[in-house]
Structure 1
Amino acid sequence: MQHYGHHGKESGVVAYDIDAGQIIVQFSNGERYLYTEDSAGAANIARMQELARAGRGLSSFISRNVHDRYVRKINSRKLT
């Protein structure tokens, strides 16, 4: 997973992994969620990938737009 570079500000997101049509997001509590184009919509996934790469705004976007539209929760563990 890639560390989420939130430019010195606190963020609920700490890491992400991007693949075609999907993104896995790891939150500060260690929980990871898989979002796909089918679950969250293609435009939302594209925006999430853009925000993840930019290192800002991803947590807010998820909260406002796709909160529970994930496919599944992935085994929880904190990033070290």
Structure 2
Amino acid sequence: MRHYRNLSGNSGVVAYEVGPDWIGVKFRDGVTYRYTYAKPGAIHVEEMKKLAAAGRGLSGYISRHVGKAYESTDG
């Protein structure tokens, strides 16, 4: 996993990992959620990848547009 830069300073995201059709997002509580092209969909996953690489806006995007629409979780 890559460290999430958290340029805003108040994100709940601490790390992320990307694959060709998914992104895994690890939050402060230690739980990692996997978002895929199947759920919540390619448009959301690709936007989340861009935000993760930029280090800003990922947690807010998930809250506003994705919610609990994740494929799986490790916790």
TM-score tier by shorter-chain length is over 0.9
* Post-superposition CA distance 1:19-60 (Å, at most 9, x none): 001000000111110100110111100000000000000000
Q: In structure 2, what is the Cα distance between the partners aligned to 1:24 and 1:8?
A: 20
Aligned residues: 75
User: Percent identity over the alignment?
Assistant: 43
Any runs of at least 4 consecutive aligned residues in structure 1 with deviations exceeding 6 A, and if so which?
A: none
Q: In structure 2, what is the Cα distance between the partners aligned to 1:31 and 1:46?
A: 21
Q: TM-score, normalised by structure 1?
A: 0.89
Tell me which residue corresponds to 2:59: 59
Provide the alpha-carbon RMSD of the alignment.
1.0
Q: Does 1:21 align with 2:21?
A: yes
Tell me which residue corresponds to 1:70: 70
Q: Which amino acid aligns with 2:11?
A: S
Tell me which residue corresponds to 1:78: none
Q: TM-score, normalised by structure 2?
A: 0.95
